[in-house]
Copies of this chain bind each other. A is one copy, B any other.
Amino acid sequence: MPDRGITPAVRNRTRTATIEVVKISEGVEWAAHCCLLLDWMGEDGPVSTARLAAGYGLPPAYLNKQLQPLVKAGILTSTAGKKGGFRLARPLGEITLMDVLAAIEGPAEAFQCAEIRQNGVWADLPASAFRAPCAIDAAMRGAELEWRRALAAQTLAAIQSNAELQAPGLRTQVQEWYARPRQ
């Protein structure tokens, strides 16, 4: 359908007004699911991007891009060449959600203090006042630390165990699904 010169801003006028800024990229979800899948399928050698992508209906090329930082982080190992693919570098019990998040999103904190306090009102204060971190920044960092602690307490093994409790026989189901021929 033609645009008729309508700008994006006008086209989006009716979209929901609520912004969601603090957002984790989908790559984290993909990575965590793929780790579970690799554990279920890991006995037959490395699993290729194509097979992992097919398992969750994901775009293969982009999934491959997302898996590469996991290799760099030492969560997965990769093998090139025919029959190549990805393997878990260590058992699920030794991989936490924090590991996955840090691998995909990087180590940066969610709250990035821009130190705006130094721009105006505080400008005349002695330099000693800025040695201590911004009180807002400190509070935000403290809260984020709680988040990271909770993420680090969740191993993929525990998550897999919960998933299997919800859907008994999941491991078998997965292996059967992959055994069936696909077009």
Contact = CB atoms under 8 A, between A and B. Distances in A.
B154 A143 contact: yes
B33 A136 contact: yes
A73 interface: no
Interface residues of A, number: 74
Interface string A170-183: 10011001100000
A154 to B, nearest CB: 4
Contacts of A137: 29
Contact of A23 (B19, B57, B110, B123): B110
A147 to B, nearest CB: 4
Q: How many copies does the complex hold?
A: 2
A179 to B, nearest CB: 12
A9 interface: no
Contact of A114 (B26, B114, B124): B26
Given A23-B112, A120-B54, A177-B121, A106 B18 contact: yes
Contacts of A119: 56-58
Contact of A121 (B97, B104, B173): B173
A160 interface: yes
A34 to B, nearest CB: 10
A56 B18 CA distance: 27
Given A21-B24, A129-B167, 11 more contacts: A19-B106, A21-B105, A23-B110, A37-B121, A55-B121, A121-B178, A139-B158, A140-B151, A143-B153, A143-B154, A146-B150
